[in-house]
Structure 1
Amino acid sequence: MPGQTAGNGKSLGRAFLVRRNALWAKLRGLEPGTAFEETLAELSALIGWNRARILAGLGLPEQGAAEAEARAGRHP
């Protein structure tokens, strides 16, 4: 839609929407770990959402995120 912007104020062009949707789809298919965290960080930078908001968008509670971090070798 004309005039719409992402959370970071950037115009929503087709390339942006395709990339955003691809990152969401990739996150849904990944198990917790390094690839998941890297993809989450990339999506966060693209859309301007923090980690907790993205996890909520995936239907993952923050508690589940802490467990995923522990399995990935990080401590909350």
Structure 2
Amino acid sequence: MSEAKLSEVFSELEAYLEDELDIGEVDRDGDLLDQGMDSMMLIEIQSRLDARGIDVEYGDLAETPTVSAWEKLIAQAL
């Protein structure tokens, strides 16, 4: 996946989180559970990544629920 596509994935992910959490901006290093994310949102995120051909397990996302940690997980999955 190109750098531009990866950037697009994270822009969409952050927009989804900001909309669903009703916050102005996601703290990329903050625990998303503390920001209001729940398990259903995490399932949706995993599903969206899977639809793009990015194979990241739900458990891995749940273990490190920060956008910055997910960037590393996704980079490793590619």
Which has the larger Rg?
A: 1
Please indicate, yes or no, whether the TM-score normalized by the shorter chain is above 0.5: no
TM-score bracket for this pair, using the shorter chain length: 0.3 to 0.5
